[in-house]
Structure 1
Amino acid sequence: MALEDQLKDAWKNLFNLPSSIDDLLTLLDKVENLLANVEQEPSKLMHDALLPIMKALVSHELLRHANMDVKVSVLSCITEITRITAPDAPYDDEKMKEVFQLTVVVYENLSHLSSNSYTKVVSTLDTIAKIRSCLMMLDLECDVLVVEMFQTFFKIISANHPHDVFSAMETIVTMVIDESDNISLDLLIPLLASVRKENETVSPISWKLGEKVITNCFVKLQPYLQEAMCFISVVSDSICPTKVGQAVGGSFKSVDNFDFLPTDEKEDFTILEEDNVLSFPAPITHIEFVTPDKFNVMESTTSLFSILPTVIPNLKQVLRVIILLLQHY
């Protein structure tokens, strides 16, 4: 039987869904396998055979099914549809937003390595990275979903995942950042949180993912990170600025470049050449620095400019972000 005819038979079953979860999963597996054999830019005959299946897959019953394995199987089928129609979206804007909502929910299942649908989730993640369909989220202004996706990636990635999962996540996050017109503070928070000092020990793979993304996107992130430092509220020892520097492969030689400071502030400090210490005319309030343990004995963190060369070895511009001047909420 021709592939077009098999697709026509399959969509008839999708409009009369079996009541059994196992039977439904078997049907969706069959549909996914059929779709996997359809090439991009299909003929008119194939396109006509696809349309009913495309419509059936985004029905309320399937798109909002309560069973997670069904959700994953539905997304796998829709991902194949998206591959076939790429670079064009297969559905209208509202349906695509629902698809991306499902996508973010399904990604959470990556943390369940022993689940029945884990392999499908990995395959879906890899396909989405390859066909760049995640960029449609930017076109549709799905900003909240993008942030949730970033948070999910940094939360669940672990040493138990194969490299393909790490690579796909890195590709997706890097791609979204590079293609974004503007990088919001909400988007930066999970990225910066991933390179927290303690995260290198507690969640080293998440830290490595953040490090790689910052390295990949340092040109795009440069002005946004500079601005973010003034607004993100982080307590002392939360995010290590040296880690942000290391994440972009920074190798700093001396305290001789202060381009990370606004122009009108550059005259408000002097450099004491004999000991490479920054001197400011007056203490700045509401600022804390990430400091080594040996400085914890100091009673105040508002006048720590004299130890900056130790806190942040060999200051020099990296992403225009060297120190985290973090204003409290």
Structure 2
Amino acid sequence: MASTNKKLKEELLEAGNKLFDPPSSVDHLLRLLSQVGRCLSRVHQSPTKSMQNALSPSLKALIADKLMKHSDVDVKVAVASCLIELTRITAPDAPYDDRQMMEVLRLIVSSFENLHDKSSRWYAQRILILEVFAKVKLFVVMLDLECDALIAEMFQHFFKTIREHHPENVFSSMKTIIVNVLEECEDISLDLLSPISDSLNRDNEVVSPIARKLGESILQSCPTTLKPYLREVTMFSVAHYRAAAAA
């Protein structure tokens, strides 16, 4: 066990230090980020002081503009994947200050935009980012930082990208995030409500069946929270459930 931890620390230090001067080749950079991500995924929460020291290079390098604002979409997803692991390791504390966390959250949310794309080589990583986001309750940080517009953007991504082919944990993670955000909000804005109400509108032919199912499931989970805002939608949905049950 000790030798395994020692090797992991050495790998983290070596790979993390390489990120300070990342390869110009996208393929080489993606391989390096994948290596860092694999190492980070093996680090447990509440790491020892020596492990924290090993994490330090990655922690500092990943937040740099040359990685966070890289022009390649795959690189951004790979960076987001590493950053979400860091948030898992340091949870419930955030790994960065408020300003930096805002940038981290923007990058992570952007990775949800193409969550439906099975052809992407980073498809599995996008799903993993979503799962960890829900598990470590990163949405709480978003609420604390008052990232209202970013939360609304995230909701939009969820309803636009959810597909029948997604594993169940994608549906459950999205639902967990949305329900918790709604229940924590003191005042639910129209921007947050719009994707939910749109999904429940039976006249909206653009909405996929699975997106509608997500909206209905959210409504069932927090009717008291949503009722003051979506009274008509709630009444319609209840009638729909009764009709379906009677059929």
Query: Please, which of 239, 242, 245 is the counterpart of residue 238 of structure 2?
Result: 245
Query: Please, which of 123, 139, 145 is the counterpart of residue 140 of structure 1?
Result: 145
Return 5+ residue gaps in structure 2 as ranges.
1-5
- Map Cα deviations across residues 136-155 of structure 1 (whole Å, 9 max, x no partner): 11100000000011111111
Structure 1 residue 181 displacement after superposition: 2.2
- Map Cα deviations across residues 111-158 of structure 1 (whole Å, 9 max, x no partner): 211111111001111111111112211100000000011111111212
Aligned-residue CA RMSD in angstroms? Answer: 1.9
In the alignment, residue 199 of structure 2 is paired with which amino acid?
S
Alpha-carbon distance between aligned partners in 1 of 2:146 and 2:207, rounded to the nearest angstrom: 33
Query: Max radius of gyration: which structure?
Result: 1
SS where residue 2 of structure 1 aligns?
helix
SS where residue 109 of structure 1 aligns?
coil
Match of 1:212 in 2: 217
Displaced runs of 4 or more, over 4 A: 199-202
Question: Contact 2:227 / 2:234 at 8 angstroms: preserved in 1?
Answer: no
Match of 1:277 in 2: none
Alpha-carbon distance between aligned partners in 2 of 1:69 and 1:183, rounded to the nearest angstrom: 33
Match of 1:292 in 2: none
- Map Cα deviations across residues 245-299 of structure 1 (whole Å, 9 max, x no partner): 347x569xxxxxxxxxxxxxxxxxxxxxxxxxxxxxxxxxxxxxxxxxxxxxxxx
1:1-329 equivalences under 5 Å are 2-199=7-204, 203-226=208-231, 242-246=235-239
- Map Cα deviations across residues 149-208 of structure 1 (whole Å, 9 max, x no partner): 111111121212222211111111111111222211221111111111134795111100
Question: Contact 1:155 / 1:206 at 8 angstroms: preserved in 2?
Answer: yes
Alpha-carbon distance between aligned partners in 2 of 1:92 and 1:208, rounded to the nearest angstrom: 37
SS where residue 110 of structure 1 aligns?
coil
Alpha-carbon distance between aligned partners in 1 of 2:207 and 2:56, rounded to the nearest angstrom: 48
In the alignment, residue 71 of structure 2 is paired with which amino acid?
A
- Residues 94/245 of structure 1: CA separation in 2 closer, same or farther (3 Å cut): same
Alpha-carbon distance between aligned partners in 1 of 2:24 and 2:43, rounded to the nearest angstrom: 28
Alpha-carbon distance between aligned partners in 1 of 2:114 and 2:141, rounded to the nearest angstrom: 22
Alpha-carbon distance between aligned partners in 1 of 2:60 and 2:81, rounded to the nearest angstrom: 15
Question: Contact 1:199 / 1:206 at 8 angstroms: preserved in 2?
Answer: no
Alpha-carbon distance between aligned partners in 2 of 1:184 and 1:225, rounded to the nearest angstrom: 12
TM-score by length of 1: 0.68
Alpha-carbon distance between aligned partners in 2 of 1:61 and 1:185, rounded to the nearest angstrom: 35
Higher share in helix? 2
